[in-house]
Structure 1
Amino acid sequence: MNHLGDANLRTWTLRFMALLAADTQEQLAWLGERELETESVVEEVELLCRISEELAERGAFEPKNLRDLQAIGRHLGEIDAACRAGLWANALATDPAWDEIRPLARQFLLTTLGYWRQPLPRPVRPHTGDH
């Protein structure tokens, strides 16, 4: 890893994978009152999966880690537009794609870090515009 940006992208990928790997109840608790759109989650993870190959070429990930990220990217690509609409909390409860992605994220973390259970990222506070 020769770029500070690579280290940040690696950290962001690991944090997002920890969130995807968590049990549904943990994900819902993490979401709390946040109204996170499914489309935003899908786009963010698809982006991380797309750039993972380049990150591996630069040493941020091992090539063996790519298989799980690529599988996650393929599953996300199969989620149709209707299932991408709405809140992620609702999708977690109704769309089986997230149940298929969860073990892939766990395997990625297991391969990358040796243990899939990781602390969930600190939630970002919603912007209120009251500055």
Structure 2
Amino acid sequence: MNDLGETHLRTWTLRMMALLAADSLDQLAWMGERELETKDLVEEAELLCRFFEAHAEHEALEAEDLRNLRVIGRRLGKVDVTCHASLWGNALTADPAWDDIRSLTRRFLHTMLGDWRQPLPRPVHPPEDDH
């Protein structure tokens, strides 16, 4: 992987981890009126975790950061399957797994950056209807 690709992937991962580490009220505010499905969020976060594990030989992350990311990936894989079909806003309040994930991602960010409090990614708004 080239440096530009690694930089983009690292930024994408840190933004996702910042979102997962945020307080639940901040996560809900970040979503606003959007309907984000839990399965989409879980799949994207798991993909990032697997990608870094597969590219560990490129040393894109320190060993401890990679271990923390593996733990996050495993925990995401255990999110209640019934919550996968729901909206993430509903899952945040119904599934205690999100408290565990929040704690794990905070540890990852603290170890990697020195503080888990990071700016949330800019929300992607759905395209407006031109009709």
Give the TM-score category using the shorter length.
Answer: over 0.9
Q: Which residue of 1 aligns with 2:15?
A: 15
Q: Which residue of 2 aligns with 1:65?
A: 65
Equivalent pairs, count: 131
Aligned partners of 1:25 and 1:55: how far apart in 2? 34
Letter aligned with residue 52 of structure 2: S
Aligned partners of 2:56 and 2:29: how far apart in 1? 32
Aligned partners of 1:55 and 1:115: how far apart in 2? 25
- Percent of paired sites with the same residue: 64
Letter aligned with residue 77 of structure 2: G
The CA deviation at 1:2 is 3.5
The CA deviation at 1:129 is 5.1
Aligned partners of 1:8 and 1:70: how far apart in 2? 20
For structure 2, the residue ranges without an aligned partner over 5 or more in a row are none
Letter aligned with residue 40 of structure 1: D
Letter aligned with residue 111 of structure 1: T
Q: Which residue of 2 aligns with 1:85?
A: 85
Change (3 A) 1:4 1:102: same
Q: Which residue of 1 aligns with 2:97?
A: 97
For structure 1, the residue ranges without an aligned partner over 5 or more in a row are none
The CA deviation at 1:60 is 2.2
Summarize deviations over 1:56-96 as a string: whole Å, max 9, x none: 42232111101211111111111232121110000011100
Aligned partners of 2:82 and 2:91: how far apart in 1? 10
The CA deviation at 1:55 is 4.2
**SS of alignment partner, residue 51 of structure 2:** helix
The CA deviation at 1:128 is 3.1
Please state if 1:113 is matched with 2:127. no
User: TM-score under structure 2 normalisation?
Assistant: 0.92
**SS of alignment partner, residue 117 of structure 1:** coil
Q: Give the CA RMSD over aligned residues.
A: 1.6
**SS of alignment partner, residue 67 of structure 2:** helix
The CA deviation at 1:121 is 0.5
